[in-house]
Each structure stands twice: as C-alpha cells, then as structure tokens.
Amino acid sequence: MSKTPNIDSNLWYHMYVTSGPGQALIGLNPGKDGPSAAVYFNPTKLTAPTNRWQIFQLNSTTYALRCQSGGPDMWLGVKIGDSGEDAPYLARGDVSDNSAFWTIGSWGDDFWYLSNAANGTSRLNKKGTGLVEMSENITAPQSGERWKFDAIDSINDPQYSRVNLLGAVIATSTTSSGTLSSSTSSPTTSFTPLPPTGLSTGAKAGVGAAISIGALIALVVLGLYFWRKRKQGHASVKPKYEPAGTGYNATTSYEPVPPPVPPRAKYEMYSDHDVAKYELQSISTVAEVPGSERPVELAGHAVQR
C-alpha cells in the first residue's frame, strides 16, 4: 500500500469519511468578494459545486484544496473558531496562512488522513454534528479522520491550473488521467515558483494607511487655503452704509433726533348732572341772649403794680 494517494490535479473529487459516501464534505460560496466561507458535511449531491473538490498537488507530500463553489482563489485552511477550536474554512489566497498547505498520509488501508503545516500533528476530523475540526486525538481507530477521495469529473479549466497562494504562483498541467487509485508512480503535476503577482497583505495595509494619511493632509491644506481666502475676502469688503460722495474714512455729523413725546393724557371732570346735590336746611333756630339780664362789668379800679 502506497503512503501517498495517486492524485490528479485536473479532477474534481468527492470527499467523505468511513460513515459512508452519503455524506460529503462541502464548501459554501463566500458571496461577492467575501474573504471566507464555511465548510461542513451535508448530504451528497455530486453535481453540486459545493461537493466538488480539487486536490492540487504542490510536491510529493504537500497539497492545496479548493472547492468549485468557492472559485479558483478560495482555499481550505484553518482558523480559530468561536469556542477556541481550530475550525477548517475556505479562505482567499491573499489572506490564508500555512494552514492552506496539507499533507495526506495513509492509515495503512484504503483510507487517508489530512494534516496541515500550521496545526502540526492534528488531523482533519468530522464531528458527530457534521461540523469539522482539527483533532489532536490521532490514536487509531478514528472514524472521523479516515478519508476517501472519489473522482467525479475532469476540471479542464485554466483557472484551476494555477495556484496563487501566499504570493507563490504554481502552475500544473491540465491533462487528466480520469482515474483515482493508490500507486507508487511519481506525481504527474509539475510546478514552477514565480515572483509574486501582487503586494503582500502587509504591504497592502501599508499602502492603504499611507493613502489615508495623504488624503487627510490634503484635506487640512485645502481647508486652510479656503479659510485664508475667506478671511481676505472679508477684509476687502467696504461697509454697507458708506456716506455718499466720501471715501471710506470720511466722517459725517448727525443731529440727534429727539425721542418722540408720548401724547398727554386728558382728564375731564365729571359733569354735575349725574352727581347728587346736598344743601343745608334753610330754616335754622336763632339763639339770642335774654334782654332782662344785667350785663356783667369788670371792676373799674386800677391794678396796682
């Protein structure tokens, strides 16, 4: 039994474990320009792009896997999940890491295990829920870690004949053998590393930061320019109310206008036709001194001093 499978990089493969071919590893479509997509088990449908995997052979021991639904730039990798576990997923080639480089090893029978460069000895494992993880438990038997690859159809698409992964471009022939079997023959895939076709993720981040800073400086300079123009414009404008026939510094004397005097209030006496009149009685009793009384006279002697 060979220690490596005979993989044809121009074939789509159906990937499943010992539970049977009725459940297949699928990869979702990340949507337009999406950086990642989920990977898990679902009922098999071989005509669906989500069920079709390319196992691209980089050298005699290393492979890169991509799903037809994700397109030519999405690769099987591993990230830290919500619960802290190592969760496989599809990631774009420009954001993936060493977890995109897989090794396929033999269990000693017709089944294979998969590990990657980032997770050491941990292996790709199907959980009972249908989700997948990288498991550190590698003691045989491990039914969720025992994989088979069945050929579905030829790819024959130039987009899938090259690998642009982590800045290294690798090309392969698109000649398909049309079969999948264990063999001791040498791999049929050839690859030639080429210079990176674009900036690395770090370089792109640096360029983006530089552009943002430059744009901010330009806005500040533009704002200062318009502020100075506006200030100069205010200084050159003449007053709105300038005396006719005189210059800007001419002085004009103005007579103060007395404030308006409010009209005096008029006050009228009430007419007497509405006022009650009060008069003294016309007949009054006259008091007279009786005529028979003798008048009282003062003493006639002189006062001695």
pLDDT tens, position by position, 238-265: 545 444 444 444 444 555 556 665 555 5
User: CA torsion angle for 7, 116, 52, 189 (degrees, to 10)?
Assistant: -30
Instruction: Give me the pLDDT at residue 155, please.
Output: 97
Contact 124, 113 (CB under 8 A): yes
Instruction: Transcribe 99-146 into DSSP letters.
Output: GG-EEEEE-SSS-EEEEESSSTT-EEEE-TTSBEEEES--PSP-GGG-
CA 11 to chain centre: 40
Give the model confidence (pLDDT) of 74-95 as tens digits: 999 999 877 778 999 999 887 7
Q: Which whole number is the average pLDDT over 37-66?
A: 95
DSSP sequence for 193-216:
-B--SS--HHHHHHHHHHHHHHHH
6-31 average pLDDT score: 94
Per residue, what are the HEC states of 135-194? Answer: ECCCCCCCHHHCEEEEEEEECCCHHHCEEEECCEEEECCCCCCCCCEECCCCCCCCCCCE
Containing 231, the helix (H) or strand (E) segment is: helix 201-236
CA distance 156 to 10: 6
- pTM of full prediction above 0.85: no
Instruction: Enumerate the domain spans of the chain.
Output: 5-193, 198-224
CATH of domain 5-193: 2.80.10.50
pLDDT single digits (tens) 270-295: 445 554 555 545 444 444 555 555 55
Average pLDDT, the chain: 75
What phi and psi, each to the nearest 5 degrees, are found at residue 261?
-90, 125
Q: pLDDT for 176-207, tens place per residue?
A: 444 333 333 333 344 433 333 444 445 455 65
